[in-house]
Each structure stands twice: as C-alpha cells, then as structure tokens.
Amino acid sequence: MSESALAQKHQEEVIILRPSRGWSALNLGDLWRYRELIFFLTWRDILVRYKQTVLGASWAIIQPLINMIVLSVIFGSFAKMSTAGIPRPIFTFAALLPWGLFSKALSDTGRSILANRSMITKIYFPRLIIPLSSVLGGVVDFGIQFVILILMMFYYSILPTPAVWLLPLFILLALITALGFGLWLSALNALYRDVGHILPVLTQLWLLISPVGYSAQDVVPTQWQLIYALNPMVGVVEGFRWALLGTPPPSTAMLVASTAISIGLLVTGMYYFRRMERIFADVV
C-alpha cells in the first residue's frame, strides 16, 4: 500500500446510516465544518429582503418608527405611563430595537424549516444551520436602527451610561432567546402547520407582556417582578435601556431569571430539534 493511499485512508470518513432512536448528540463538530453555509444563508436572506422594494433598506427604519409612534400614543397619551424621566420617543425606540431584533429572529426562525424545505428534501447539511442563519438575518437591520438611535440620543442630549459595554450581552441574550424558542417552533412547525398561524399572535402578545412601551419597575409590583422576569425579554429590554439611557437597572435576580430561562430554552430547543430533524425531509 502506497503512502498516499494510506494518507487517503486516514482522511476517509465512514458514514453509517441507520435508523436512530431517542435523543441524538448535538454533533457541533459537523456544524463547525459547515459554518460558512450559515453566513451564506444569512447573506442570502439579507440580500433578498429589500430587492424589488421602492424604499429598500429604509424599511428597517420605517417599521420601528411607526411602532414607536403607535406605542408612544397608546402608553403615553392614553395609558399615561411614566418613562423614568426619559423623553418618550427615545424611551420606546430604545426598547423597540432589541425587541425588533428578537421578534424578527423568532418569526424567521420559526418558519425557517418550512421556508427552506426545497433544500431539506434535496441535500444533506446539518439542519441546525437553517435556524442559526435565520436568527442572524435581522442583525443588519438592527445595525441600521442603532445608528438612528445614536442620532436620537444626540438630539435629546442623552449620554450612554458606563454600563454601555454590556449592550452586546443583552443583544446576545435576545438572539439566544429567539433561537431557543425558534428551534422549538421550527421543529413543531414542520410537523404541525398550526405554528405558522400562532406565530404572529404570539409575537404580538409577547410585545405587550414585555416592557417595551412601559417600564417594568414602574408597572409590575415588586413581589411579582421575579416571575415577570421569567419572560427573558424583560431582562433584555430593561437591561438594554438601562445600559444606554440610564433608566433604573433591572435587579440581578431578574437578569439571572431571564438568562437562565433563555439558556434553558436554547439547550432544550437544540436537543428537541436534533431529535425531530430526522423526519423533516419526510414531513415538510
């Protein structure tokens, strides 16, 4: 046997295909090998999103601005909730940023398996790639919106707090929550199309139970705040606003509760997804 043949034999991978039962390992090594595909798919989603639109990427700004006006009117003019001394437009807009990132990531991820069914039924790649790339699709929009937020801070002469370095962590927390929950939803959506109908309702309700138009410390009684923070978006939104605008900080307990729930969702979501992915090609 020649040396090159030996070398080739060492390189050669052997794949065994057999029916699997029960839970599967996450197989993150395989995921790493296909990492470029994650970015290609994200890149595709971003490129495609604003093609053949008149306003193009301005939609990334228009959507949250409209939401800001609606929420400001509802929670300010009608419900007259306080904003911890921050001008209401920027108070709401700063919360809508992480919220928008989350809700877009969640609904894209929840639909991702069905949306990419033509790929799933035709070719192998680690299926986790699809929800992973969907989660990242909103990051560019978020970046554009963030520039607007900075301009608004200039306009209202608000300086970021020293805790501003925590911002990326809150953004990460929003993405992890969206991914964890989205993994559950996308796998369930492959089996039951009902999920597609529930998703818009779910994100709308979730918006109302998250402190986007109001401040959690202001509205939720102290003894209920920990339970309230089991909604991971409470930690994300309150934390984001605190780090940037200096609203009252969320308590450590609240942050821990939000983070724990969101990581729990991610881990269970990944295992559930891995368990169900073996039948995706047969049911989508």
Q: Which is nearer to another protein, 158 or 281 (by Cβ)?
A: 281
End-to-end CA separation in angstroms for the chain: 47
Bin 157: left if φ > 0, else alpha if -120 < ψ < 50, else beta.
left
Give the type of residue at 226.
L
Q: Is 271 in the site for another protein (CB under 8 A)?
A: no
Q: Which is nearer to another protein, 24 or 251 (by Cβ)?
A: 24
Q: What is the spatial distance between Cα 77 and Cα 93, in angstroms, rounded to a whole number?
A: 16
Site map (CB under 8 A) of another protein, residues 7-36, x = contact: --x--xxxxxxxxx-------------x-x
By rule CB under 8 A, what count of residues binds another protein?
42
Q: Is 284 in the site for another protein (CB under 8 A)?
A: no
Rounded least distance, CB 183 to another protein, Å: 13
- Classify residue 120 by its DSSP letter: H
Site map (CB under 8 A) of another protein, residues 126-165, x = contact: ----------------------------------------
240 Cβ contact partners less than 8 Å away, ≥ 6 residues apart: 94, 95, 97, 98, 167, 170, 171
Rounded least distance, CB 36 to another protein, Å: 6
Q: Is 40 in the site for another protein (CB under 8 A)?
A: yes
Q: What is the spatial distance between Cα 97 and Cα 138, in angstroms, rounded to a whole number?
A: 11
User: Could you say which residues in the range 160-199 bind another protein, by CB under 8 A?
Assistant: 188, 191-192
188 Cβ contact partners less than 8 Å away, ≥ 6 residues apart: 195
Which among 170, 97, 109, 98 is positioned nearest to 136, based on CA atoms? 109
Among 28, 69, 70, 124, binds another protein (CB under 8 A): 124
Between the CA atoms of 244, 132, 178 and 140, what dihedral angle is there, to the nearest 10 degrees? 40
Which residues of the chain form contacts with another protein (CB under 8 A)? 1, 5, 9, 12-20, 34, 36-37, 40-41, 43-44, 47-48, 51-52, 118-125, 188, 191-192, 272, 275-276, 278-279, 281-283
